[in-house]
Amino acid sequence: MYLLRENKTNAVKMLAVVLIVAGALGLVYGGFTYTKETHQTKIGPIELSVKDTETVNVPVWVGVAAMVAGAVFLFARK
């Protein structure tokens, strides 16, 4: 029983650290970009593809909320 409780505690602490780091990165960078292929055509030996770059903005309140939730998980005692 003790081992199961210890594993749960470690998982919650890992989640807390991930939330804190993700929130800090969201505050520092304000968003992220990614590239996706939208169209691809192959006509004989000629191959055409279109790649679009998408930008996702992370609101400040989301970064702060993630850091606060991570701190609550990290310092909460059961």
Which letter does DSSP use for residue 66 in this model?
Answer: H
Distance (Å, rounded) from C-alpha 66 to C-alpha 26? 9
Per residue in 46-74, pLDDT (tens digit) is: 888 888 899 999 999 999 999 999 999 98
Which residues in 5-45 belong to E strands, given as ranges?
Answer: 31-43
pLDDT at 1: 54
Looking at residue 40, its amino acid is Q
pLDDT bin (cut points 50, 70, 90) of residue 12 is confident
pLDDT at 5: 61
Percent of the chain with pLDDT over 70: 88
- Total residues found in the chain within this entry: 78
Domain boundaries, given as residue ranges, for the chain: 2-75
Residues 6 or more apart whose CB falls under 8 angstroms from that of 60 comprise: 27, 30
Q: Which residue has the higher pLDDT, 25 or 9?
A: 25
Q: How far is CA 77 from the centre of its chain?
A: 26
